[in-house]
Amino acid sequence: MLSLKNKRLVILGIALIAIGFLAFIIQVAGSHPERAWQAYLINFLLWSAIAQGGLLFSVIMHLTKAKWCGPLTNVSEVFAAFFPISFALFLILFLGKAHVFPWQHMDLHGKEVWLNVPFLFFRDGVALLILYGLGFTYLFYALQLKAIGAATGGRLRSFLDQKMGINPDVTRIHQRMSIFSVLYALAFAGVLSLIGYDLVMALDPHWISTLFGAYQFVKAFYVGLGGMIILASALYLTQGDSTGLTTTHFHNLGKLFFAFCLLWADFFYVQLVVIWYGNIPEETAYVIERTMVPPWNFLAWVVFIVAFVLPFFILLNKNVKTKPKFMMVLSAVILVGIWLEHLLLVGPALSHGSRSLPLGLWDGLITLGFLGLMIFAVVYFLDEFPELKRFQPAVEKR
Amino acid sequence: MKRRNFLKLASIGSLSFAASACTSEPDKTIFSLVQAPADMVTGSPTWYASTCRECPAGCGIIAKNREGRVIKVEGNPLHPINRGKLCIRGQAVVQGIYNPDRIKSPLLKKNDQWQPISFSQARSLIQEKAIQAAQSGSDKARMITELVGDSQLALFIHCLEKLNSKGPIAFEPLAYETLKTANREAFGIDGLPSYLMDKADCLVSLGADFLETWLSPVEYAWRFKAMHAVRTEAQGVFFHISPYQSLTGANADRWIACHPGREAAIVMGLIKATLEKGRGIGLPQSLIQSLRDASERYTTQATARMADIDPKDFESLKIRVLKAKTPLILGTGAGTASGAFQADLAANMLNLILDSDLTLFDFDRRHRVEGSARRSEVIEFFNSLSTDGVRLLLINNVNPAYALPPGSGIRKSLDSDRMFVVSFSNFMDDTTALADLIFPVCLPLESWDEYSGKNGMVSTLQPAMGRFTQAPHVGDLMLDVAFKDDRSVPDYKTWVMTQLHSKGVMREKNEWLKALQAGGVFPDVSPSVTRPRPVTGATSLFEPVDDTTGLFEPVDDTIERDPAKPVFIAVPSIRFFDGRGANRPWLGEIPDPLTKVAWQTPVLGHPESLKAAGAGHGEVVTIQTQQGQVEAIAYETRQVKPGVWVMGMGQGHIHFGRYAANVGINPLTLLPPKIDNMTGGPVFSTAVVALSATGDSKPLAHTDGSRIQHDRKIALSIPLDQMSANHDEKSAHEPSLTMEGFPFTLPLPEGYDPKRDFYPPHDHENYRWAMAVDLDKCIGCAACTAACYAENNIGIVEKDRIVEGREMTWLRVERYHDPENPEKITFFPMMCQHCDNAPCEPVCPVYAPHHSKEGLNNQIYNRCIGTRFCSQNCPYKVRRFNWFEWEWPDPMNLQLNPDVTVRSKGVMEKCSFCIQRIKVAHGVAKNEKREIKDGEVVPACVQTCPTGALTFGNLMDVNSRVRMLTQDVRAYQAMGYLNTKPAVIYLKKVVQKT
Amino acid sequence: MGPECQVMGLFTDEERAASAVQALEETPWQLKQVHSPIPSHKLSEALNLKKSKVGYFTLVGGIIGFFSGFALAMFTAAKWSLIVGGKPVIALVPFVIVGFEFTILFAVFGNVIGLLIQGGLPDFKGMEIYDPRCSGDHFGVLAACPEIEKGQLINYFKEKGGVTRVFES
Amino acid sequence: MSDLTYAKIDQTVLDTLRPATQVYWFTVALLAVGMLGGLACWIYQIFIGIGVGGQNNPVAWGTYLINFVFWVGIAHSGTLISAILHLFHAGWRNPIARAAETMTVFAVCTAGLFPFVHLGRAWMVYYMLPYPNQRTLWPNFQSPLMFDVVAISTYLTVSSLFWYTGLLPDLATVRDRSTGLRKKIFTILSMGWTGKMEQWRHYTRGYLFFAALATPLVISVHSVVSWDFALGVVPGWHTTIFAPYFVAGAIHSGLAMVLTLMIPLRKIFSYEKIITLEVLENVAKTIILTGLIVGFAYGTEFFIAWYSQNSIEIAIFKWRALGHYKVGFWIMVVCNTIIPLLLFIKKIRRSIIWLFVISIFINIGMWFERFVIIITSVARDFIPHAWGLYWPTVVEMGIMVGSFSLFFFLFVLFVKHMPSVSMTENKEMLAEGESHGA
């Protein structure tokens, strides 16, 4: 039962958060604060991406007027609950600026105009606000439709009920949803590119790749789908059919997941082949450090296998896609793979010239903290909007 | 070079083949002989030493003969004048021989129609005319000739005597009258000494374009770089003073743009300054005094005002001249206004003051060109033709109708029915067109002869190939004309030998053979013994002019700079000289080193001048002078002084074959027939009456996309003060991966760094060929380009194709101006870089370009299908595509190098580092069971570079010179940051503050 | 048993056709063939058709393609072993493209072959007992019965709301 | 499509196959002339030399490559519509899928000609084929052009097979409704298709795999095309975003071309009932998406160029927008990203005229996109001394006109002699529609 009434779940969540927090504090206070901030940055990026990508699903389904998704939109919308946390985490990142922006003391050959801490935090903060704002506005209307004639929920929910009055104008709501879904989709592309450039690519300020932004938001949707599969499975396994989820839904979701696994790999290869072929050191040095020189080349292979090869061959098969339990595990593994992929991108820049992989128990513990936050957010939201656990066909336009 | 010399000599001048030449019967065919002479081995070249006659300098050449035909000429390494080097014009000699418009048989003019007649007919016709002339009184048979060797001159005199006429007059359009006169007045020697520039440490030129045409360009090119190229000790400094920046000026450390004809003021200013510093020891007090008086008024300010220059320029010039240990002031060039004589006279005085012994002057080895007649005499000669009632005029390979201003009335004087005009020319040039009979004679490479560019030595000519035509040598012809059976010698060859014998140069036959082998007799260079002193009258030279003896006219204090009244200057061209080179297509095709314009004759003007004329760059302007007017494309440049318009000589012939007729413009048509009374010389400048834009614009056939390098790290320079060993030049940029800081990487396995190289290093087989280009030595003369054209059968595309951007040159000399001060120019030879990671290679779908075992970037022509991807992906844009089938009109095809494929349409081509020469070296080394030695492989461009700016060799040999040069602090690679690992290593140009 | 005769019931309505097919189970007559202008789900449910095996052909084709693509690229490169642009002679990164394209190409070949073999195409025989309307708006259910029962079968189809056509053998 | 029936669908489509009018044959003749004109230009070029075109040094690639990329791009939307949308069960694809696929096949054919036209020695083109030979001369599979050879030929093969497979049931329908020679021809073409459920069982499955394979293929093909440029080092070409950017651009232009073709077709063949306004509207919506992606790519390129602070990168992009070819650049920007935004407005989206006009603009814009990318980058690359300009010549124009004629020639012939709309798929959609009750 995914609910705050579920004591075990709550305790688990709190425990995780506590562990993560402590681990982080200890390491920051310790001899290697940069390691703590590295883990922090990676988790911030990953978990935010899950949330942002998660909501994107619902948006796209709305835009394409897709019927097959059914209650999956519910699942996707739940992830919006992480937005406020994500933004808070971003603000906290400011404390670690000394460790997460290695370019602060480099000769940037004129890049200073763009790469300076105040401007960076300003623009990225604003960008995130816009993205999340649009997300919530979209959600606001989406939930109105779902809430019609549904059981009452928490405070937020009642606030929403007041907002929309007795019987809302469904057509108008649909229009608004359309508008904000477009806006959110645009913002998603723009903002995630920006975050990608600023918080990942720029860590190695002399390297550029025009596709990097797109690569980031495609990856975000990839992990978003992963998160959805996990949550959907969790709901399905706990609540069963009341969620309205069927194996067909899992199958379709699995197909989409597979598609984006391929797309992510494609975007990776597309960058690799161009850089490899061009052989211009300004570009190649970055890739060489991460794929050919130990210790990172090992990690590169791990990421490649865990995040692409494995899912590719498994998801070729139709049946596994329809097995929630299995998909849950697979998705979790892939998310770990993407976590490592983030490490591969930021690691060499942050802990420069390290003989061994800057990866250890601490990173795991800190990550658990973020997991706790996500669980907490999700469960809270589900309590607020119980209809998201229950499926009734969305009200059509009159 | 030493070893190469030996190789050459081994084959030079073996005579069996040449002997067959210059008998009256020509060879049926001059290639694929069934019974080849002993020294003609199919597939291997034979070298014949001879002398270049493309200009009066008289450089030594060796002609490469393959299967009976000369395919290329190179400088004779033993020759003291050019030391194995050759200029752009010298390289083009062969295009004279194989010129498709060459006249094969005599032509007789019958009512304005040319009728071919046989040689014997023509000969007897001349004989008949000669006898008539001889009988009808004295001096009725006259001759005007090009500058010829002593022997030939003697022969002419000998023959004309028989026709009871006086000797011939030698005509050179550029006869340096002002210099000669100044020398006469100052030293009592009416001649042209040679200058030991290499010994100087401060050089000042008053417009002498000694890197292009002045006296002996190839010699002065290497002498100049000997003093100017960076050395461990201080580098020599060079000031160029002239109203426009010639190529020579572009190589100066500072170009001082003075008002046309006001160079004298600057020299006087220097005289004043030097005298004030108490220089001039060893000179008679009287002279010093008169000079002091004369130079009194030339204060820095006054000088600057008179010459219209920046006082700062003059100051720095003064400082350097005073500081110099062995300064040398050179005279004026051809292209200056009246006042040149004053400048040269003053220059002589200044030289005396600076060094009373004139140790840098060599009056023992004077330039032969001094033997050419003054312009006044030439005009006089032509005027006398009618007055003296001359019956027979013999014109030996000169083109006065083109080279003299129209006002001189040459055409009229030639066009008289009483006088029979014979032209010994192989080409229908403007003068020949006016003759009554055209009698082609042997070209230098087909002749036995002797021509010494300087006295004190002998430089021989021998037939380097069989002959095309039955044309006899002009000497033999003259003997036939003048004598029946009473001749003293059987033929001209014998005459030459007897001449040399009588001079005591050579006693018996084998000396003659040795001379032929070596290309001449070159006594060791001993210091000049003639030490000219100022003539006794010198003191009075600088008296006021109204005084009878005074010659030096003080420079006007005022200067009127009315942009509406501009000055027009015609300047000799490095490509066409005075115009005699215009029918060699290579010279038209290779763009002018400064304007980068080919085939056309633009008129150069300062932006202000263009503004005044209301014309833009590339727009057509009409220039009108007293003499006439022409329409020319205006070329905007800051390399000329405002109010001065400059145009190169040599083009705009009415006749002269397909490559020259009606191509470009002849600036001489704008000049007045004015002769300077003092010197008897012409003036190559005149006032412009009207200059206006016609409104329409023509496309310029230029090959440069941009004049500046947009802050890209291509043609780099380094200040002299950073050259000192302790100064770490690299510190300017800490090594990074950017264009600014990318480290120097050898195209060898050691050049690979696992941190920035995706690809594994690859080894080479014993050799990794590479070239070093010393930008500090490169003067931008484009001799390398010409050599490349000659060696590699590169197609001629002509004007329209160049406008389309389809020139085929494999080696271009890029010219970059400094955006801040455009008169600072860097020349940058660009050829295939033979990269270790060549971007052009992988993109080809059929492996046409690929990396050879010896590091060369091979281009397989017959595999190429013409996708042109390689060219697109070449960062250096050195690849050239055959857009069409290029033509070698018969017999030009005979010049083609049999060792190099002629590319068909639709294939890509590019510099191959002269792989054919590498192959030859491989063969030789293999036969001798050894490795190829350093310096054994010499690509055509490297071979001819007058200043030795290019070095070729094997990088894997750590002792090779090219490998050594990679250690130089100046070494860098163009666009190295692309990780192409180029095998062409550039050495930065050294700039010094002046 | 007398001689065989085949009757085709032609339905304009998918449902009716489907029910006719199902009901035919209870009858003694055997269902020969069902023609449809569209890939009808209802009919395939009625006939409870199994999943096609075409996929295996496709898969095999793909695998062959993948390897032959790489093999070709590597073999040709190794044969000349020329260095271009300093790149390794056997350069896997770009060869991925060749491998990929070949994978698709051969997979499609496999797919087509699979289609033809499995679907028994071309099959001009099949047109002998066939009604053109089946490519238009009619669903044709072909059943066989002994000559004598012909009438009943025709009636059966009539009841189901279709017109009939008899193919005498 | 409420009042549609199977019969109606068949009728509408079969009506288009009725004997053609003179106007039709005149059009065909006209196009044939244009085709021959192009051919003549090509022959002339082969004999005189590639120099009759405007290419030079440094701009050695001209309209031939531009048109190659342009046509490959056009081809893409066909596969997108028939394959990708098929996977997404987007019903609105069915009415236009056939015509779109046809467009694909013919566009690929047209595109495939240009690499040959472009070659300096077209007669040596077989050097690019990996045929076994005595001296073991093989092509270089590291070259982007070889990727092209492989990718384009694969694409042509696959799309034609896919197209034919889709045609099969319809061919049978035509066969059963025709007589005489046509019946004979279609009998053979339809390979004895009788719509047995047994056949359908494999057919549907195979078709699905076709779609599943065509999808990655279509993405890879234009990625490969983009790598003709991106794999080089030329500033303005060498950039990682090219592959997705080109794919999006390709689909952008392709969809525009679909509208350009469909709107007249719909009118002439009175397909209004089948190709409804909703269908066109959906195409328009997709165009908005692709337009935005392309715009995003333009923006990114400029941003990164500036961000990199690499003087050469900055220079080239400045020059694109403000230099000699700025007109082309702004045509590209306006036509491809600004004008499509109009489609956000429902009125415009649902107005045939507007759709048609906008689609034309996008076609033009996409042609100029290729012009800008290919020409401006090499015209001013690394070595300023070697900079130059390029302008197409009459011969190039002739060949370009020829290519357009060829494409429309084939297309016009097809629509009159083959079912230009898939009857089967529309019936299927009708059936599903009923069952889903929507």
Q: What per-residue confidence (pLDDT) applies to D180?
A: 85
How close D312 gets to chain B, by Cα (Å)? 8
Q: Percent of chain B beyond pLDDT 70? A: 93
For the residues of B459-512, what is the DSSP string, one character each? EEE---S--SSSPPPHHHHHHHHH-SS--SSSSHHHHHHHHHHHTTS--SHHHH
DSSP lists the bridge partners of residue B954 as B769
Inspect the interface and report whether the beta carbons of A280 and B977 lie closer than 8 Å: yes
DSSP lists the bridge partners of residue B113 as B110
Contact partners for chain D, using 3 or more CB pairs closer than 8 A, are A, B, C
Q: Which of C80, C82, C88 sits opposite B760 (nearest CB)?
A: C88
Q: What per-residue confidence (pLDDT) applies to A380?
A: 87
The residue among A271, C108, C100 whose CA lies nearest residue D221 is C100
Average pLDDT over residues D308-321: 92
Q: Any idea of the CA torsion for B210, B216, B218, B221, to the nearest 10 degrees?
A: -30
Q: What per-residue confidence (pLDDT) applies to C141?
A: 83
CA diameter of chain A = 65
The residues near A25 (Cβ < 8 Å, ≥ 6 apart) are: none
Q: Which of B840, B851, B981 sits opposite C83 (nearest CB)?
A: B851
CA-CA distance, B846 to D142, in Å (whole number)?
Answer: 10
SS3 of B687, please? strand
Whether the pLDDT of residue B35 is over 50: the answer is yes
Inspect the interface and report whether the beta carbons of C93 and A273 lie closer than 8 Å: yes
Q: Could you tell me the pLDDT band of residue B845, with boundaries at 50, 70 and 90?
A: very high
Q: Which of B762, B839, B844 sits opposite C83 (nearest CB)?
A: B762
Do residues B604 and B640 make contact, with C-beta atoms less than 8 angstroms apart? yes
Whether the pLDDT of residue B730 is over 80: the answer is no
pLDDT in tens, B941-950: 999 999 999 9
The residue among B307, B192, B206, B268 whose CA lies nearest residue B552 is B268
| DSSP-H helix ranges across B210-367 | 217-228, 247-250, 263-276, 285-295, 300-307, 311-323, 340-354
The pair of structure tokens assigned to C134 is 């089946």
CA-CA distance, D167 to D173, in Å (whole number)?
Answer: 10
C→B interface, C-beta within 8 Å: 80, 82-88
CA-CA distance, B694 to B614, in Å (whole number)?
Answer: 9
Inspect the interface and report whether the beta carbons of A273 and C94 lie closer than 8 Å: yes
Q: What per-residue confidence (pLDDT) applies to B7?
A: 39
Whether the pLDDT of residue D333 is over 80: the answer is yes
CA-CA distance, B440 to B117, in Å (whole number)?
Answer: 12
Picking from B874, B978, B979 by the largest number of A CB atoms within 10 A of its own CB, the best residue to mutate is B979
Per DSSP bridges, beta strands B141-145 and B113-116 are: unpaired
CB contacts of D127 in chain B (<8 Å) are 845-846, 863, 865
Q: What per-residue confidence (pLDDT) applies to B419?
A: 92
Chains A & D: contacts with CB separation below 8 Å: 67
Q: What per-residue confidence (pLDDT) applies to A161?
A: 67
Inspect the interface and report whether the beta carbons of C84 and B842 lie closer than 8 Å: yes
Tell me the domain boundaries of chain C: 4-51+130-168, 54-119
> In Å, what is the CA distance from B322 to each residue of B93, B310, B317, D386?
43, 19, 9, 43
Q: What per-residue confidence (pLDDT) applies to B31?
A: 46
The pair of structure tokens assigned to A369 is 């903290």
Inspect the interface and report whether the beta carbons of D385 and B706 lie closer than 8 Å: yes
CB contacts of C80 in chain B (<8 Å) are 847
Inspect the interface and report whether the beta carbons of C86 and B981 lie closer than 8 Å: yes
Whether the pLDDT of residue A397 is over 70: the answer is no
ipTM given for this complex:
0.92
Q: Provide the domain count of chain D.
A: 1
How close A199 gets to chain D, by Cα (Å)? 14
The 8-class DSSP code of residue B894 comes to G
CA-CA distance, B756 to B122, in Å (whole number)?
Answer: 76
User: Cα–Cα–Cα angle for B472, B478, B479, nearest 5°?
Assistant: 95
Q: How many Å is the Cα radius of gyration of chain C? A: 26
Per DSSP bridges, beta strands B825-830 and B812-817 are: antiparallel
Q: Which of B711, B807, B868 sits opposite D120 (nearest CB)?
A: B868
For the residues of B391-452, what is the DSSP string, one character each? -EEEEES--HHHHS-GGG-HHHHH--TTSEEEE--SS--TTGGG-SEE-----GGG--EE--
Q: Percent of chain B beyond pLDDT 90? A: 71
Q: What per-residue confidence (pLDDT) applies to A34?
A: 85
Q: What per-residue confidence (pLDDT) applies to A150?
A: 58
The residue among B339, B247, B264 whose CA lies nearest residue B567 is B339
SS3 of A91, please? helix
CA-CA distance, A94 to A76, in Å (whole number)?
Answer: 29
Whether the pLDDT of residue B11 is over 50: the answer is no
Segment among A166-170, B500-504, B790-794 with least mean pLDDT = A166-170
Average pLDDT over residues B203-218: 94
| Residue B181 identity | T
Structure-token match 């670690």, residue found: A96
Mean pLDDT of chain D: 90
Whether the pLDDT of residue A149 is over 70: the answer is no
How close C98 gets to chain D, by Cα (Å)? 6
Class of domain C4-51+130-168: alpha beta
The residues near C156 (Cβ < 8 Å, ≥ 6 apart) are: C9, C20, C23, C24, C27, C29
How close A284 gets to chain B, by Cα (Å)? 6
CA-CA distance, C139 to C161, in Å (whole number)?
Answer: 12
Whether the pLDDT of residue D415 is over 80: the answer is yes
pLDDT in tens, B230-248: 765 668 899 999 999 999 9
Q: What per-residue confidence (pLDDT) applies to B14?
A: 41
Q: What per-residue confidence (pLDDT) applies to C13?
A: 81
Inspect the interface and report whether the beta carbons of A189 and D296 lie closer than 8 Å: yes
Q: Is D258 exposed, middle or buried (0-12, 13-18, 19+ CB in 10 A)?
A: buried
Do residues B680 and B377 make contact, with C-beta atoms less than 8 angstroms apart? yes
Picking from D240, D247, D294 by the largest number of A CB atoms within 10 A of its own CB, the best residue to mutate is D240
How close B955 gets to chain D, by Cα (Å)? 26
Contact partners for chain B, using 3 or more CB pairs closer than 8 A, are A, C, D
**CA atoms within 13 A of residue B187's CA, in its CB half-sphere:** 27
The residue among C153, C69, C152, C74 whose CA lies nearest residue C106 is C69
For residue D108, the enclosing domain spans 6-136+232-431
The pair of structure tokens assigned to D217 is 């293929």
Per DSSP bridges, beta strands B603-605 and B629-636 are: parallel
How close A319 gets to chain C, by Cα (Å)? 14
| Residue A97 identity | K
Mean pLDDT of chain B: 89
pLDDT in tens, B389-402: 899 999 999 999 99
Average pLDDT over residues B768-791: 95
Inspect the interface and report whether the beta carbons of D49 and B882 lie closer than 8 Å: yes
Whether the pLDDT of residue B5 is over 50: the answer is no
Cβ contacts of C24-28, under 8 Å, gap ≥ 24: C24/C141, C24/C143, C24/C156, C27/C143, C27/C153, C27/C156, C28/C145, C28/C149
The residue among D344, D346, D336 whose CA lies nearest residue D371 is D336
| Residue with the larger pLDDT of the pair B612 and B33 | B612
Whether C80 contacts chain D with CB within 8 A:
yes
CA-CA distance, D379 to D384, in Å (whole number)?
Answer: 10
Q: Is B368 exposed, middle or buried (0-12, 13-18, 19+ CB in 10 A)?
A: buried
Q: Is D138 exposed, middle or buried (0-12, 13-18, 19+ CB in 10 A)?
A: buried
Inspect the interface and report whether the beta carbons of A278 and D90 lie closer than 8 Å: no
Q: Could you tell me the pLDDT band of residue A107, with boundaries at 50, 70 and 90?
A: confident
Average pLDDT over residues A71-80: 87
Inspect the interface and report whether the beta carbons of C84 and B760 lie closer than 8 Å: no
Segment among A60-74, A271-285, B952-966, C123-137 with least mean pLDDT = C123-137
Q: What per-residue confidence (pLDDT) applies to B378?
A: 94
Chains B & C: contacts with CB separation below 8 Å: 37
A→C interface, C-beta within 8 Å: 269, 272-273, 276-277, 279
Segment among B776-785, B925-934, C24-33, C102-111 with least mean pLDDT = C24-33
Whether D195 contacts chain A with CB within 8 A:
no
The residue among B893, B912, B941 whose CA lies nearest residue B778 is B941
The pair of structure tokens assigned to D6 is 């199977």
Whether the pLDDT of residue B98 is over 70: the answer is yes
Q: What per-residue confidence (pLDDT) applies to A153?
A: 61
The residue among B89, B262, B64, B50 whose CA lies nearest residue B786 is B89
The residues near B310 (Cβ < 8 Å, ≥ 6 apart) are: B304
Inspect the interface and report whether the beta carbons of B864 and D121 lie closer than 8 Å: yes
Q: Percent of chain A beyond pLDDT 70? A: 92
Question: Within 10 Å of residue B193's Cβ, how many Cβ atoms?
Answer: 24
Structure-token match 């990421």, residue found: A303
How close C10 gets to chain A, by Cα (Å)? 34
pTM: 0.93
The pair of structure tokens assigned to B487 is 């001749």
